[in-house]
Structure 1
Amino acid sequence: MRRARTGPLSRLATTALAIALGAMFATATLVFTDGVRQSFADSAMGGADRLDAVALPPEDGGVLPRDLVPRVRELPQVAEADGAVRGSAVLLGPDGRPLGGAPAMAVSVGGPTERLRIEEGRAPEGAGEAALSTATARTRGLETGDPVAAVGADGRRREFTVTGLVGFGLDRTASAAGAIAFDPETAAEVTGVDGYAELRVLGADGTDPEEVAAAVRTALGDGAQTMTGPGYGAVLAEDAGVQARSVTVGLSLFAAVALFTAALVIGNTYAVLVAQRRRSTALLRCLGADRGQILRGVLAEALAVGLAASAAGAALGVGVAAAAVELAGRSAGAASFFGTGGAEGMPLVVSPVSLALGAGAGVVTTVAAAARPAAAMRTAPLAALRESGGDGGSEEGAGRGARLRALAAAALFALAAAGAWTGMTLEPGPLPMVVVAGAGMAAFAGAMAAAPWLVRAFAAVVRTPMRRLGTAPGLAVEGVLRTPHRTATAMTALAVGAALMSGYAVASASIQSTLTVVMAREMPADYALRPLTSQDGGDTDAQASALPASLARELGEDPAVGLVMRDRRAAARVGGEPTPVASFYGARLGTDLAMETAEGDLADVAPGRAALHADDAERLGVGVGDTVRVPGDGADLGLTVAAVTASEGGMPGLVVAPEDFTELFPDTPDAGLLVVGADGAPAERVREAVDAASAAHPGLEVVSGAEQREQYGRLFDTIFAVVVGMLAVAVVIAVLGIANTLALSVLERGREFSLMRALGLTRGQLRGLVASEAALVGAAGTAVGAALGVLFGLAAAGAAMDDMVPAVPVARVAVLLLAGVPAGLLASLAPAARAARAPVAGLAAGAPGAV
């Protein structure tokens, strides 16, 4: 019978595959990260990072004089400078009625210094053209080419044609009231604003943004607030409720984890190859080759293989990233299982740095793994020839290695625990995120060091049920118990994928639950309606127009509206000082409206019982159970403090029951309405109901919490969808990594499989043995990875956000655990087929790879 030998080229091919996969994973993740970072810059930072410097008025609401622009343009550090006009205008629908309950933001767009992105069409260029914000166009049913009308500050109606859609990102004003854009001259005419809200600067070639900002700052002095473009972007992101540095650091850490993962996959595979070549290395030593010659030869081979495979992997990684971005954009439902949405509009950013890092990770890791022959060169040549080349080695060396491995695992786990605790106790931000990421890597390294013991413990647990499944599963579990190091090496790749996937699922679920709580507190309703006091919002305490008494009834009768809460406000001298008093008619406190409490429960507010803000409670020296006197227009009541609301997140003053408010201030009208859509009602339908009711009552301002939450959701959905796509690549690489390691293991165990054939095992039983081992690898790797992922996912969420609300998506993690076995079986198909072809005559071969 002819024996099929697998030579060095075949072994190098499997190693090159692992290197290419690792480089592909690293490159794809880096390209993903660049795309997310750009998407974040457009959404949360308003594109300000594209500028070198920005100058703002010294006071909020002010303007910069027009003559500052020529002064800045004359600076040698400046290539381009221009100003941006910002004001307001009333948008009109086809029927001539206002679109929305408040004037829209009106701005100028266009020119080389424009920071906003034209998402569709082009910027307006003449007096008869305008652009709309993408959100405004979508909610109003408008698109490019449609006519639109606006009333400016002079009360004149003007007609425009929509030429494009502009992305305003998470700008609160644009999302709440809508936005329209003109060319600079038209914007100044419509808004009546004589000056600029922003002065935008692009630096000369080769000039650092800090240098540009310093030159502009010197030229303008105290007449403006000057900062770099990225610095202004961070301000805009914070105003939108997002920490730019935390997001940027988080993305960078994710890329670092990808490089770490690629290094593990490549290093483990090459280490198996090197271990298989101990005998051939020792034989070369016996034939006269010195240590330097062998090491140089091995490193030169590794460098050549690493360069070729890493270059191919990096190119493939760009293709994978492009395909994943396209898939995420076309099929939002594919990511919905993990709580994500689509990624429309996310750019594909391929930078030379990402390509260099992705390919470099493969080359450096390959060369580092190839240095392992040094261990063989320290062994006497004849002794190395006598070793089995597998898991063998001297008993003394094995015992010493086990002790060192145990010490390393204990030290790494202790370091990981200390790092996680430190990251959780520090103020949330970039530094704790870095600390927790480092702790996670240390924990994973500790798990790798302890992997043989973890595998042995796992195998001992499943030993009895595996034996009952038949001969092949029984032999598989015994093989795992006999050589746990081999199984530990194979499970590493899947453990990485499971840890990343489960860690992401837990972190994203915790961040989303925290955001839900925070946004429910800050924006408890989908829409808020209140009297408009002036065109720009004016003084909220002065009511220029009363809230119509019939408005709440009209909204409540619409089936798209589920709840209408009437907000009433007044002031009383409590403890000798004016104190706000509020009540919410039609709302269940603690359920429909939630506030943080320092003491007591908001749901306990009832007639005779009130909630008091923490600052007022401290001023009055009272707490839960104490009584405060509240003098009103119609009565003087003594109210028991049922709850103390927190200093941050609570409503100033007193929150009382509607019955008490009516008795205290009988003639006080509604100050506003809070509207919540009915369960299952489409967002567009709820908006139509609010617009229809408010359009009949001019002088109302409509603030949309629903649309603001939608803006946040789009940003995080884009990030989450991209991450899920990247992790899908990680899972594929994990399966291929297991297959690669199993293939090399089968090559190493050729004589073992031949002996089993000689003892009576059929080809089917051999396939079952390898498949059973792979299933054990998959289950063990997934369990270890999921445990680490859950723990450090919670730690990462706590390091990123204040008052993190932990959430563990049990169903998703359970699916990951259940997926480990089929992943292992899938990875075993090719190696099992190769093992089944082991001939009985292979026992006569001196080489272990005779399959």
Structure 2
Amino acid sequence: MFRTALRNVFAHKARLLMTVLAVMLGVAFVSGTLVFTNTISHALSKSSAKGFDHVDVALTPGATAAAGDKVSKEVKLTDATLGKAESVPGAASAYGVVSGYAAVAGQDGKLVGNGFASQGGNYWAGSGGKDVRYPLKEGSAPHGRNQVALDAKTAERAGYKVGDRVRLSVDGPVLTPTLSGIFTTDDGNVAAGGSLALFDTATAQRLFHKPGAYDEIDVTAAAGTGQDRLKRNIGKALGDAAVHTETGQQLADDQASQITSSMSSMRTMLLIFAGIALFVGVFIIANTFTMLVAQRTKELALMRAVGASRRQVTRSVLLEAFVVGSVAAVTGLAVGVGIGAGMRALISDTGAVIPDGPLVVSPGTVVSALVVGILVTLLAAWLPGHRAAKIPPVAAMSAVHAAPTTKSLVLRNTLGALVSAVGVTAVLAATAMSGSSGRMPMAAGAGLLVIGVFILTPVLSRPLIAAAAPVLRAFGVSGKLARLNAVRNPRRTAATASALMIGLTLITGLTVIAGSVQSGIDKMAADSLKADYVVSMANGNPLSPEVLKTLDKTDGVTATSGLSNSPSRIDGTTEFLTGVNGGTIRQLAQLTMRSGTFTVGGSHVVVDDETAEQHSLTTGSSFTVHYEDGKRQRLKVAGVYQHNEIMRGILIDTRTLDPHLTDAVSDMQVMVKTSGGATDATKDRLTRALGDNPAVKVQDRQDISDQVARIFTLMLNMLYGLLAMAVIVAVLGVINTLAMSVFERRQEIGMLRAIGVNRKGVKRMVRLESLIISLFGGALGLGLGVFFGWAAGELISGSLSTYELNLPWGRMALFLALAAVVGILAALWPARRAARLNMLAAIKAE
């Protein structure tokens, strides 16, 4: 049996090659994903670990606990804290760390680095006036408010040399200090493509609004003192539970864990689509082995007659599958390593910077590739082998294949209907849930519905394919035969169409969701914003107070209002107050009022419906707020409005709120109304007034919508690329099915040729059959995708009130056309093979 199995593998190389390709693609995607993510994680972890070489214990500020009406406050690390830490037994030295956002513009005025990784800090001139963390490559350390030092990679990318004036921004206004020096660093953010600008300590504290305070104090241990011992000594000396202490090793380990965690979401997403490709490949493998078993039915029956057991027959089929799966797994692993290297190079070509490091092919990646490839192939081949073993030898010798019994069809249809009903019920129930609570039930219901439809596909194929009869009549005999052939073996047609169905279901559902969310964002911007522009920092940090002052003085600006956030305590819970200009906010924002009026001023505030419900507030009711400075005030609710993504929470007049802020007033956004409306000229005027700042965004309503659109477009393009693999696998499945169909009907094709059907007619028949199967799968995929898109939208509408279903008819038509193209391309080789059959040899074939 072993020799027979190996002989059969080599006897059907062409068909098994398609199975190898299907499995190989899925395995390559799995192994490529693991190689890519492991390589990036290793490189980032190794790079970030170097940044803790000079840290044995790090002190970071904690926060006082919020209790009752007391607002939590962050404890400040001061020079006094630094002195205590440096004087403890076992401490060699200590230095204060100040950090914040610093956007550096290149010579072309554009932002250098990766936005959120645009960092600023302080150069700590220790012994000898040098900072051991940042060895100077050129120039000298920065001194005073008019000097800055840049990391070597940023200086090179931006084209700066020592002595040049550097354009940068911290929170709004453009600064132009002189470049005093260029340094090297092992900072992980810089290694990943970010930028780092250093000032002297006093300047950094002033720029980042931390006068006399540090974000972190790092302590180095004296010779012979371990990190854990030094940490205990510092803890005893400070005696402050609100100051956190961690060893350098802990920080390095935590950083590595964060990097691994941040990569896990990307890895999970990529592996999901690899799993989809493998799942689609299961249909191809099952079809391939069904075909091979059908070709060898009499041979297997003869083996049974001469003494082979059912188990031996099944094992022979599984042995073939093992050989095929092993070849596919090894090949897929090799291709996956290449994919991992290619993805790394591709990301580097887009401008992202990845730290140097070796390509990581871990033992886990090798084992995963081999196990996945072999197991998937064995599982898919088991059913055909089991069926072959169950056929009685006499029945097998008298028929090429046995038709499914009525009992099996009834059982399948009943099971499919039940699974589909449970899936639909779960999805509909999930739409009635709120927030994230409905995600898992909906995912489970969607999975069950797809499985149920797959089980029912043989039943659905007959009426849906029959609907194409009027169109097929135009192709004469070829069209009629194509329709009959497509429903001759409903199970095989179902397995082939399901491969396309799964891919198009995902593509259609995601496209419907993205388009609908985009429409909701457009409507929200149009309904909620009366302002012409919204000004904010590129990284989401607070703006400098100078930004609002500058905009107020700009020609053509008729109204402005900043939006600032401040923590407070209401009824013992923390709530953020949103400070707005009560005199102008109605010119800049338009809220849907549930009750009352949009009045903000003095002690009158407006509250969104969620906050009002949480604190049992209604129009006209009063409540006590405890500000962050500890003082309290009685406020009155002038109105309750429907929350949206632009405005939510408690809106209070800045003249009422600002006196209670413990830090300088910082607006998260500034809304601007102009006399000329939103025009390119007005936008340019505002941008110039802010100093052509690369860190500040000036956006109109269309810009806000386009920003969201870009995010969805990027996501969809990536998903389309990933799902293209499932489509490629589906093409192989259609080819396999048609090849099987041609093999089973070679006598019939020979007879058709003999009675006058020419080669073109035979080719047309096979092509039309392929087209029908592909369009059948495409239609099912579009239907399921629209249903899932609608259901997911019902969940999204709970958090996005302006969400509305938007069906992308153009793209859906394109997807259906894609399914047709898949069918036409997949039929090229089987149609050519059918047309070239020798009619006399085919008629005589058994």
TM-score, length of structure 1 as denominator length? 0.66
1:492-531 map, 5 Å: 492-509=498-515, 525-528=533-536
Match of 1:787 in 2: 783
Match of 1:11 in 2: 12
Given the alignment of the two structures, is residue 455 of structure 1 paired with residue 461 of structure 2, yes or no?
yes
SS at match of 1:770: helix
Distance apart, 1:820 and its partner CA? 1.1
- Separation of aligned partners in 2, 1:37 and 1:710: 34
- Separation of aligned partners in 1, 2:397 and 2:89: 77
Distance apart, 1:826 and its partner CA? 0.8
1:21-60 map, 5 Å: 21-28=22-29, 31-32=32-33, 56-59=60-63, 60=74
Greater Cα offset, 741-750 or 786-795: 786-795
Match of 1:836 in 2: 835
Aligned residues: 730
- Separation of aligned partners in 2, 1:285 and 1:426: 57
Please tell me whether the aligned partners of residues 273 and 723 of structure 2 are also in contact (alpha carbons under 8 angstroms): no
Distance apart, 1:409 and its partner CA? 0.9
Match of 2:594 in 1: 599
1:757-836 map, 5 Å: 757-793=753-789, 803=799, 805=803, 808=806, 810=808, 811-836=810-835
Given the alignment of the two structures, is residue 402 of structure 1 paired with residue 409 of structure 2, yes or no?
yes
Distance apart, 1:304 and its partner CA? 1.2
Q: 1:800 to 1:243 in 2, by over 3 A?
A: farther
Q: 1:148 to 1:832 in 2, by over 3 A?
A: same
Please tell me whether the aligned partners of residues 770 and 823 of structure 2 are also in contact (alpha carbons under 8 angstroms): yes
Match of 1:749 in 2: 745
- Separation of aligned partners in 2, 1:151 and 1:388: 78
Among 210, 214, 224, the residue aligned to 2:244: 224
Match of 1:368 in 2: 379
Please tell me whether the aligned partners of residues 36 and 346 of structure 1 are also in contact (alpha carbons under 8 angstroms): no
Q: Which amino acid aligns with 2:378?
A: V
Match of 1:478 in 2: 484
Given the alignment of the two structures, is residue 729 of structure 1 paired with residue 725 of structure 2, yes or no?
yes
Distance apart, 1:34 and its partner CA? 7.1
1:588-667 map, 5 Å: 593=589, 597=592, 599=594, 613-614=608-609, 644-646=641-643, 650=647
Among 357, 382, 401, the residue aligned to 2:394: 382
Distance apart, 1:496 and its partner CA? 2.5
Match of 1:469 in 2: 475
Q: Which amino acid aligns with 1:57?
A: P
SS at match of 1:692: coil
Please tell me whether the aligned partners of residues 453 and 484 of structure 1 are also in contact (alpha carbons under 8 angstroms): yes
- Separation of aligned partners in 1, 2:97 and 2:323: 58
Q: 1:426 to 1:258 in 2, by over 3 A?
A: farther
Please tell me whether the aligned partners of residues 297 and 400 of structure 2 are also in contact (alpha carbons under 8 angstroms): no
Please tell me whether the aligned partners of residues 120 and 198 of structure 2 are also in contact (alpha carbons under 8 angstroms): yes
Greater Cα offset, 413-422 or 293-302: 413-422
Q: Which amino acid aligns with 1:159?
A: S
The alignment-based identity, stated in percent, is 22
Q: 1:322 to 1:48 in 2, by over 3 A?
A: same
Distance apart, 1:459 and its partner CA? 0.9
Unaligned 5+ segments in structure 2 are: 1-6, 64-73, 113-117, 125-133, 142-148, 171-175, 221-226, 567-576, 623-635, 654-664
Q: 1:28 to 1:647 in 2, by over 3 A?
A: closer
Please tell me whether the aligned partners of residues 52 and 251 of structure 2 are also in contact (alpha carbons under 8 angstroms): yes
Q: 1:494 to 1:157 in 2, by over 3 A?
A: closer
- Separation of aligned partners in 2, 1:568 and 1:196: 25
Question: Deviations 1:139-188 (Å, cap 9, x if unpaired)?
Answer: xx666889455899xx997723487998869x9xx99xx96247999989
1:117-156 map, 5 Å: 128=140, 130-131=149-150, 147-148=164-165
Please tell me whether the aligned partners of residues 23 and 328 of structure 2 are also in contact (alpha carbons under 8 angstroms): no
Q: 1:436 to 1:359 in 2, by over 3 A?
A: farther
- Separation of aligned partners in 2, 1:298 and 1:423: 43
Given the alignment of the two structures, is residue 286 of structure 1 paired with residue 290 of structure 2, yes or no?
no
- Separation of aligned partners in 2, 1:581 and 1:183: 33
Unaligned 5+ segments in structure 1 are: 1-5, 75-80, 111-121, 202-211, 331-341, 530-535, 558-562, 572-578, 629-638, 657-668, 696-700
Task: Please tell me the root mean square deviation across aligned C-alpha atoms, in Å.
Answer: 6.4
1:95-174 map, 5 Å: 106-107=120-121, 128=140, 130-131=149-150, 147-148=164-165, 159-161=180-182
Distance apart, 1:460 and its partner CA? 1.5
Q: 1:614 to 1:807 in 2, by over 3 A?
A: closer
- Separation of aligned partners in 2, 1:681 and 1:200: 52
Question: Deviations 1:195-253 (Å, cap 9, x if unpaired)?
Answer: 5538799xxxxxxxxxx99998999593317688797799999xxxx999877765554
- Separation of aligned partners in 1, 2:253 and 2:35: 16
SS at match of 2:467: helix
Distance apart, 1:736 and its partner CA? 2.5
- Separation of aligned partners in 2, 1:486 and 1:345: 48
Match of 1:338 in 2: none
Question: Deviations 1:440-495 (Å, cap 9, x if unpaired)?
Answer: 33322222211112211211111122113322112111222333223223222222
Please tell me whether the aligned partners of residues 93 and 148 of structure 1 are also in contact (alpha carbons under 8 angstroms): no
- Separation of aligned partners in 2, 1:710 and 1:167: 31
Question: Deviations 1:696-715 (Å, cap 9, x if unpaired)?
Answer: xxxxx967789999999888
SS at match of 1:62: coil
Q: Which amino acid aligns with 2:244?
A: A
1:566-585 map, 5 Å: 566=561, 582-583=580-581
SS at match of 1:527: strand
Please tell me whether the aligned partners of residues 19 and 362 of structure 1 are also in contact (alpha carbons under 8 angstroms): no
Question: Deviations 1:653-683 (Å, cap 9, x if unpaired)?
Answer: 5689xxxxxxxxxxxx999842489878599
Q: 1:300 to 1:194 in 2, by over 3 A?
A: same
Greater Cα offset, 27-36 or 499-508: 27-36
Q: 1:717 to 1:816 in 2, by over 3 A?
A: closer
- Separation of aligned partners in 1, 2:763 and 2:98: 72
Q: Which amino acid aligns with 1:554?
A: T
Question: Deviations 1:258-313 (Å, cap 9, x if unpaired)?
Answer: 44333344334333333443332112212332333323322222211210122223
SS at match of 1:388: coil
SS at match of 2:462: helix
Please tell me whether the aligned partners of residues 564 and 673 of structure 1 are also in contact (alpha carbons under 8 angstroms): no
Please tell me whether the aligned partners of residues 56 and 197 of structure 1 are also in contact (alpha carbons under 8 angstroms): yes
Distance apart, 1:755 and its partner CA? 1.8
- Separation of aligned partners in 1, 2:41 and 2:787: 27
- Separation of aligned partners in 2, 1:712 and 1:48: 35
Q: 1:249 to 1:301 in 2, by over 3 A?
A: closer
- Separation of aligned partners in 2, 1:312 and 1:798: 44
Match of 1:316 in 2: 335
SS at match of 1:482: coil
- Separation of aligned partners in 2, 1:737 and 1:36: 30
Q: 1:593 to 1:373 in 2, by over 3 A?
A: same
Q: 1:297 to 1:195 in 2, by over 3 A?
A: same
Please tell me whether the aligned partners of residues 54 and 199 of structure 1 are also in contact (alpha carbons under 8 angstroms): yes
SS at match of 2:76: coil
- Separation of aligned partners in 1, 2:232 and 2:744: 69
SS at match of 2:121: strand
Distance apart, 1:9 and its partner CA? 3.9
Q: Which amino acid aligns with 2:746?
A: G
- Separation of aligned partners in 1, 2:455 and 2:228: 50
Distance apart, 1:735 and its partner CA? 1.7
